[in-house]
Amino acid sequence: MKKNIIAGNWKMNNGLTETIELIAALKPLVKDAEAEVAVCVPFTDLAVAKKALKGSKIKLGAQNIHWADKGAFTGEISGAMLKELKVDYVIIGHSERRQYFGETDATVNARLKAALKYDIKPIVCVGETLAEREAGKVEEVLIRQTEGAFADIDKASLKNIVVAYEPVWAIGTGKTATSDEANDTIAIIRKKIQKLYGSPVAKALRIQYGGSMNAKNAKELMAKEQIDGGLIGGASLKAVDFSQVVNYNA
Ligand code: PEP
């Protein structure tokens, strides 16, 4: 049985004190969660967050990883560094990285390989922009992004990978894909994975929905056959809001 995974993406929010406070508030609220829970925090918060998470089942995630082991890459963080901090998950190819920092399908693929090499579970983000949806290009874009991200990734690695379908127009905008839209679009990604790796692997792959998911819409989205959890931005910054998403079934 695959377990849903609900991960908070804090983005560039929360310093050390806020990290300690938010995690302390969150721990009791999600202690009985059915889903796997993770918080993906800024690099500077990772060590403090790891300590604060002690005694809970909440996993720790980073928000990026460089593809090289070490070297002259000013401002970047390697898989070895993340591993030393005992990071469980890492977000790769978030649309904000693609939009503002020149992330491409090729760099997503390189980062994915680095995460797997260091035994850190990647959360690989894909999703179309509004212009692409309006131009009827959703399928084309998602197939391109999925093929690009998974180039040369072997079948055995798939069990350690999570995919997040995040329509760019729904991120931080308050607009959510309808549950049917999200379900149907995730089905496109899963079909591509099925073509690449076969049906059992595609069925077992956890694919999250992300884009303005909150306490009000989580239950309906999560009830959909194709949706195996959520990547949560805004609503992950308050303990009660995030816990309500995590405990969507309660
Ligand atoms: C995200 O950043 O991955 C995200 C889904 O953000 P929000 O929930 O704020 O739309």
Q: Measure 126 CA to ligand 1 centroid, in angstroms.
A: 13
When the pLDDT of each residue in the chain is averaged and rounded to a whole number, the result is: 97
> Closest Cα to residue 210, out of 125, 147, 129?
125
Q: At residue 202, does pLDDT exceed 80?
A: yes
172 lines ligand 1 (CB under 6 A): yes
Within a domain: residue 13? yes
Residues in CB range of 195: below 8 A, 6 or more apart? none
pTM of the full structure = 0.97
Residue in 90, 6, 84 with CA at minimum distance from that of residue 47: 84
Mean pLDDT score, 54-77: 98
**How many A from CA of 71 to the centre of ligand 1?**
32
What is the 3-state composition of the chain as percent helix, strand, coil, each rounded to the nearest 5? 45, 15, 40
What average pLDDT does the segment 139-143 reach?
98
Evaluate if residue 114 carries a pLDDT over 90. yes
9 CA distance to ligand 1 centroid (A)?
Answer: 7
**Domain carrying residue 66:** 5-120+129-237
Residue 70 within any structural domain of the chain:
yes
The whole-number pLDDT of residue 249 equals 87
Judge whether 236 and 10 are in contact, CB under 8 Å: yes
pLDDT, tens only, 143-165: 999 999 999 999 999 999 999 99
Please check whether residue 60 lies inside any domain of the structure.
yes
174: confidence class by pLDDT, cuts 50, 70, 90: confident
Annotated catalytic residue: which of 66, 94, 103, 128? 94
Q: Could you tell me the CATH number of the domain that includes residue 172?
A: 3.20.20.70
Task: Tally the domains of the chain.
Answer: 1
d(CA 88, CA 116): 11
- Tens of pLDDT, residues 227-236: 999 999 999 9
Structure tokens at 160: 């350690």
pLDDT band at 1 (very low <50, low <70, confident <90, very high): confident
Going by CA atoms, what residue is nearest to atom 1 of ligand 1?
Answer: 233
Residue 248 falls inside a structural domain: no
What is the structure's pLDDT at 176?
84
> Is 94 one of the catalytic residues?
yes
Q: Is the CB of 246 under 6 A from ligand 1?
A: no
**Average pLDDT for residues 67-79, to the nearest whole number?**
98
Which value, in Å, is the radius of gyration of the alpha carbons in the chain?
17
pLDDT interval class at 177 (50, 70, 90): confident
